Structure 1
Amino acid sequence: HYFPRGSIEVAAEHDLRAGLVPLPGIVLIYPQDFYFYVSPAMPQLHAKLQLAMQQAEQSGLRQKLFRQYYGTALSELALDKR
């Protein structure tokens, strides 16, 4: 049976889902975005968030934080070998 989970979810839920294991050798890749919703009444907040996200991407901060919080869990899944 197929139970779709993102790689971060698999790592986080591993101990909670007894009997479910990632299928060795296979990874399904599909684009998934994360969205921030901001009230139309606050356009200045939208502009600040957009600028901050662009700066975090350009400076490498986004990737650094991603690795800091998810790097160990993702490396345990050995996605590069699937």
Structure 2
Amino acid sequence: DHDSARLVSDLLGQETVVFNTAARALDAERTGLSFAEQHVARPLLTPDEVRNMHAETELLFIAGQRPIVATKLRYYADPEFVGLFTASPI
């Protein structure tokens, strides 16, 4: 839902995006040329980007650490973990 996606987006924080622009004057001599640099804050992931993440991707939030983007581990399908867990009774 949108509220959960917005919460995750807020927890991730912001990044600074730098835009460089150039402009030329349109006067008769065309001698005026100016450059500008603009710093704009942007969410690391927008709520829409959070909602559209691949099903195999997860975000880990650990106290005192930066958020981690990881691939989900399917322990039940990985041969390395065979015998290390008890399958749930069905």
Same fold (TM over 0.5): no
Q: Whose Rg is larger?
A: 2
The TM-score with structure 1 as length reference comes to 0.25
Which fold has the larger relative contact order, with Cα–Cα distance below 8 Å and residues 6 or more apart in sequence?
1
